[in-house]
Structure 1
Amino acid sequence: MRNSVDGNADEALAALGYKSELPRNLSMLSILGLSFAIMAAPYGLSTTLYITLDDGLSVTIIWGWVFVTLISIAIASSLAEICAVYPTAGGVYYWSAMLSTRRWAPLMSFIDGWLTLVGNWTVTLSIIFGGGQLILSAITLWNEDFVANEWQTVLMFWAVLLVCVLVNVFFSRYLDLINKICIFWTAASVIIILITLLTMAKNLRTGEFVFAEYDASQSGWPEGWAFFVGLLQAAYTLTGYGMVAAMCEEVQNPHREVPKAIVLSVVAAGITGLLYLIPVLFVLPEDIDALRNVASGQPIGTVFKMATGSASGGFGLLFLILGIMMFAGIGSLTAASRCTYAFARDGAIPGFKLWRRVNKKLDVPVWAIILSAAVDALLGLIYFGSTAAFNSFTGVATICLSTSYGLPILISMLRGRQDVKRSSFSLGPFGFIVNAITICWIVLAVVLFCMPYTLPVDPSSMNYASVVFAGFAFISIVWYFAYARKHFTGPPVSKEEAAAATGIMTGAAVDPERKLSETAEMKKTPT
């Protein structure tokens, strides 16, 4: 039975235009754990280590991580400020509509919805596919010449994906516990890895190497620019915080708890990542080329093996990273399915009547989970044609999620930040500056992450992120003109009605005179 708090949240959701169909059984700690799981700092930094080994080494790895963490805190704070006003599973695409004028709301909502949908799908794909590659790379700890072929890689990817699907469908009631366990597993893993590496490694690097070594000689890019290209490692890892807005309808007091979880998860991931990177850099071998030329393309297992002096020791530490990967895969599929469900609920996806269904027995959008997994399973087949094309999904995920975050922030800025003035997570007088910093970074990130990691470029090393991004854009444009242009209207309520929902959530009475004033102001706004 739902308590009064849940009832209040459901009433507010109804005022935002939607019927509550999902149980509110997730706490703030659980959402924090989910966001923390999706970012999975030790795992994300491990699977993308090959990028920064070429593009700057220690300086890019450490200071690039610090730089992107600070930027991500600014973006997360900007999103949290908006989320506190409009806490729905629609997330950024709902916000883009509410912050826009009536004339532009459907188009802005549609564009941002597809950006966040593709971002959710591709970040889930990259996490789980990378996990399959990392599992197979463990074999190289005993057999250095082993190279997994395409079928072995794709089958392992499908196996990990299947586990994530089964957990999301049949064990959804345990997601709260799983998300909480993730926090403790990740923290314990980082501490164990830190202590093991620094105590067992026979030869430690100097502090100067760890914090000041800059080597971009392998990148082919000008030295300064190589640092920025290498920021993809950190930017890809720190992207998932905005995805948890899709869980707003499964949380008590979402206008308070979800914004806090969004920001705190970035801070926690930033600290965790730093504590993980420093010992890894201290134990890097003198021969960096040995890591660059690892047959599996995943050098972290080799780093662990060299540091501990045995394949078994290396696998023991790698197993901890694989555990973090499973939490990340489960969590990212959870968020992606809720995003799919929310977007389908507004009729924005082909076949939306099926994808928006919630299984009453399992209390989850089973068909949205199946669609998200099916899209990823099919996209994984691209690996048969080009491994470079698949690696580009990392860049696509970062570009799509970053731009989906940036659109509602930009709209809010252009309209004088009027809507967020009533936010319970207000940035106050610093809001405009924080928003401006985030937009500048997102514009730069889109350019950066369409570039190849190294030069010169050939078909096997080309970054196909822009091509894949254009492919999804083409699908969304065709759907828009074929159906959505005439049928998709965005969120089902007006801004005035959504504003009233904020009062319901906070328990604050809506001043009739203020409401009349706001309505009159809306009428003056060009449509």
Structure 2
Amino acid sequence: MTTAVKSNQTVLSVDDIAVQSVISGKDRKILLDHPVDNDEAVILALGYKQEFKREFSLWTIFGVAFSVLGLLPSIASTLFYSLAYAGNAGITWGFALGMLGVIPVALNMAEISSAFPTSGGLYYATAMLSPPKYKALLSWIVGWSNYFYQVTGAPSVAYGCASMILALASVANPNYAYQTWHCYLLSVAITTVCAIISSLPTKWIAYINACSSILNILFLFISWIFMLAGNDREEQGLPKFNSNSFAWGIDNLTDWPDGMAILLSFMAVLWTMCGFDSPFHITEECSNAQTATPKAIVMTATIGGALGFVFQIALAYTIVDIDGAVKDDLGQPYIAYLSQIMTKPRVLAIGSFAAILAFSMTFSCMIAASRVLFSYSRDNCFPLSRYWCKVNKYTRTPVNAVWANWFIGILLLLLMFGGVAVDAIFSVGSIAPFISFTIPTLLRITYARNTFKPGPWNLGKFTYVSGFIGCSFILLMIPISNFPQYKGSDNTADLMNWTCVVYYGSMLLVIAWYFVYAHKIYKGPRSNLAGETIIDGREADSVVEEIVERKDYKEE
């Protein structure tokens, strides 16, 4: 395909590129005034201009994804959904079971990313794989569901980062009095600095994320070593490690049966692992995108899942009091856990690792979210789309989209003044992405099973097995994500699971908006190539002949 493109630097035949797109199958040709490589040929065939510099490689795009995954801060921030539901079982074999459902989802997303290597890949793929009558509606649902996850990602991580910093402040100074507005202002400050970083040129962002990926691995390893070798359990008259039965046993802290408690703990797995989609959203900035992007997705899911499992085993074998960590006055289970097994100086040092990584995770989330807003806005999916789809001429990054997401984020953070309602942005992050991940997969293995054009990285016949497992897992988790920890009279407003209001209520509004008005202006993904750039195949010969004549005239 690359050779064919290079041999014709004037006219690119869309149907010669093995992709399914909004302009393929119509004998369309794209006029070019420069030679193109395979990456640009593919994005042009998908119907979009090459607007970014392709300065990410497989390893740097994996670095972004691994930073978004942010294992240490993610685990620290979601212990409320694992340890607080099923005890140690939620972070050991419960986590492993959850990963068996998550990895098939990642594998099928990787296959789809190879076929549709564009920043708006999830909703673009949905439109291409859907029945024509429903492509606009289904891509609208997938696009907004994914955007809700993206736009809540950075503020939720920033909130977790601020909570850890303030918990460490309480450890350092017992006289410190926590106030909600302290957390809010600190969260806003974190997101502001991260927005500035996310507005930098791609090359700088790639370098910063490469450094943060190294810190992720290094801090995770150091923390793991100190948890195992540097704990002071023996000085407390306890054995160095917990027994196997305690480390792997269920400590049900809910009002539900044990099996239900394990299922509820999967929300922590979903939130921790959802960052594996990040390479998809920056694929237009990656070289050799059709193979590098899917490989980065699979690497993020598998390596991240394995490291997360090993890290949490260390936590299960060293924690002293599960109930005490969950209900500690610090309000941060991870810092409370460290305080159970380490001296104050070590708590401050190891806890700061999680806070630093939460900061780097925040700007990585902002990068992915800005690319989602940018790519969806190219197709008029959002209000004021013409502003969010602009690329800054100096940085060559979607700066407007970065700051639009930042503004929405600081508004969402106001939920912390409503008490437990702020936890809803974590709940959205656990289910919204997987709904958007699963719809194109479901279409791939059903309606589009005979029309899908796989990219160079694909699952072959295994796609149906993987797709069935992944879709079944998410269909199970959709209702589970709405269940509260307690039921009956124990379930007060402060303990309510607000996912049903924040996520499903928001989705209901955008679907209603689609039927009331948006269907008039949104028809699904559309090409942003200028009208004169695309010509009908029948015109190609005359255009080439005219160009040759011009060239001969100039040479004379």
1:18 deviation in Å? 0.8
Distance in 2 (CA, whole Å) between partners of 1:95 and 1:176 is 26
The 5-angstrom pairing of residues 84-163 of structure 1 reads 84-144=114-174, 146=176, 148-163=178-193
Counterpart among 291, 299, 315 of residue 348 in structure 2 = 315
Aligned residue number for residue 296 of structure 2? 261
Counterpart among 244, 248, 252 of residue 208 in structure 1 = 244
Structure 2 alignment gaps of length 5 or more: 1-5, 7-34, 234-239, 529-556
1:184 aligns with 2:214: yes
Aligned residue number for residue 379 of structure 1? 412
TM-score (norm 1): 0.88
1:438 aligns with 2:473: no
1:42 deviation in Å? 1.6
Counterpart among 366, 376, 389 of residue 399 in structure 2 = 366
Verify the 8 A CA contact 2:64 2:278 in the aligned structure 1. Answer: no
- 1:72-121: CA deviations, max 9, x gaps? 21111101111111110112000000111222211111111111111111
1:54 aligns with 2:84: yes
Verify the 8 A CA contact 2:103 2:301 in the aligned structure 1. Answer: yes
TM-score (norm 2): 0.84
1:148 deviation in Å? 2.3
Verify the 8 A CA contact 1:452 1:461 in the aligned structure 2. Answer: yes
Aligned residue number for residue 398 of structure 1? 430
1:493 deviation in Å? 5.6
- 1:32-51: CA deviations, max 9, x gaps? 11111111112111111133
SS of residue in 2 equivalent to 1:353: helix
1:245 deviation in Å? 0.9
Instruction: Supply the AA of the counterpart residue of 2:307.
Output: T
- 1:392-437: CA deviations, max 9, x gaps? 1111122110100011011112225234453322212221111011
Counterpart among 510, 518, 524 of residue 490 in structure 1 = 524
Distance in 2 (CA, whole Å) between partners of 1:169 and 1:392 is 28
Instruction: Supply the AA of the counterpart residue of 1:189.
Output: F
Verify the 8 A CA contact 1:60 1:227 in the aligned structure 2. Answer: yes
1:244 deviation in Å? 2.7
Change in 2 beyond 3 A, CA 1:181/1:418? farther
SS of residue in 2 equivalent to 1:215: coil
Aligned residue number for residue 508 of structure 1? none
Instruction: Supply the AA of the counterpart residue of 2:241.
Output: R
Aligned residue number for residue 223 of structure 2? 193
Verify the 8 A CA contact 1:382 1:389 in the aligned structure 2. Answer: yes
Distance in 2 (CA, whole Å) between partners of 1:248 and 1:128 is 25
1:470 deviation in Å? 3.0
- 1:431-480: CA deviations, max 9, x gaps? 11110111111111111111112342101000101101133224423442
Instruction: Supply the AA of the counterpart residue of 1:490.
Output: G
Distance in 1 (CA, whole Å) between partners of 2:462 and 2:247 is 31
- 1:3-56: CA deviations, max 9, x gaps? x89733122211111111111111111111111111111211111113333322
- 1:293-325: CA deviations, max 9, x gaps? 22232121232233222x221010011111221
Counterpart among 270, 280, 283 of residue 318 in structure 2 = 283
Q: CA RMSD in A?
A: 1.9
The 5-angstrom pairing of residues 26-41 of structure 1 reads 26-41=56-71
Verify the 8 A CA contact 1:283 1:303 in the aligned structure 2. Answer: no
1:237 aligns with 2:272: yes
Aligned residue number for residue 386 of structure 2? 353
Counterpart among 302, 306, 325 of residue 358 in structure 2 = 325
Verify the 8 A CA contact 2:427 2:481 in the aligned structure 1. Answer: yes
- 1:344-369: CA deviations, max 9, x gaps? 11001000011111111111111100
Verify the 8 A CA contact 1:147 1:296 in the aligned structure 2. Answer: no
Verify the 8 A CA contact 1:36 1:268 in the aligned structure 2. Answer: no
Distance in 2 (CA, whole Å) between partners of 1:356 and 1:482 is 24
Instruction: Supply the AA of the counterpart residue of 1:219.
Output: T
Verify the 8 A CA contact 2:104 2:470 in the aligned structure 1. Answer: yes
Change in 2 beyond 3 A, CA 1:244/1:419? farther
* Corresponding pairs, count: 487
Verify the 8 A CA contact 1:301 1:314 in the aligned structure 2. Answer: yes
Larger Rg: 2
Counterpart among 464, 468, 490 of residue 498 in structure 2 = 464
Using the TM superposition, name which of 99-108 and 343-352 deviates more.
99-108
Verify the 8 A CA contact 2:48 2:527 in the aligned structure 1. Answer: no
Instruction: Supply the AA of the counterpart residue of 2:421.
Output: A
Instruction: Supply the AA of the counterpart residue of 1:161.
Output: T
Instruction: Supply the AA of the counterpart residue of 1:344.
Output: S
Instruction: Supply the AA of the counterpart residue of 1:270.
Output: G
Identity over aligned pairs, percent? 26
Using the TM superposition, name which of 114-123 and 413-422 deviates more.
413-422
Counterpart among 272, 278, 284 of residue 307 in structure 2 = 272
Instruction: Supply the AA of the counterpart residue of 2:408.
Output: V
Distance in 2 (CA, whole Å) between partners of 1:263 and 1:473 is 29
Instruction: Supply the AA of the counterpart residue of 2:439.
Output: L
Distance in 2 (CA, whole Å) between partners of 1:490 and 1:138 is 48
Aligned residue number for residue 455 of structure 2? 423
1:81 aligns with 2:114: no
Verify the 8 A CA contact 2:91 2:309 in the aligned structure 1. Answer: no
Instruction: Supply the AA of the counterpart residue of 2:428.
Output: V
Aligned residue number for residue 506 of structure 1? none
1:223 aligns with 2:268: no
Aligned residue number for residue 15 of structure 2? none
1:147 deviation in Å? 5.1
Structure 1 alignment gaps of length 5 or more: 495-527
Distance in 1 (CA, whole Å) between partners of 2:452 and 2:439 is 15
- 1:117-152: CA deviations, max 9, x gaps? 111112222112111111111112134575522211
Counterpart among 163, 167, 170 of residue 197 in structure 2 = 167
SS of residue in 2 equivalent to 1:412: helix
SS of residue in 2 equivalent to 1:56: helix
Instruction: Supply the AA of the counterpart residue of 2:520.
Output: K
Distance in 2 (CA, whole Å) between partners of 1:478 and 1:354 is 24
Verify the 8 A CA contact 2:113 2:290 in the aligned structure 1. Answer: yes
Aligned residue number for residue 39 of structure 2? 9
Distance in 2 (CA, whole Å) between partners of 1:44 and 1:74 is 21
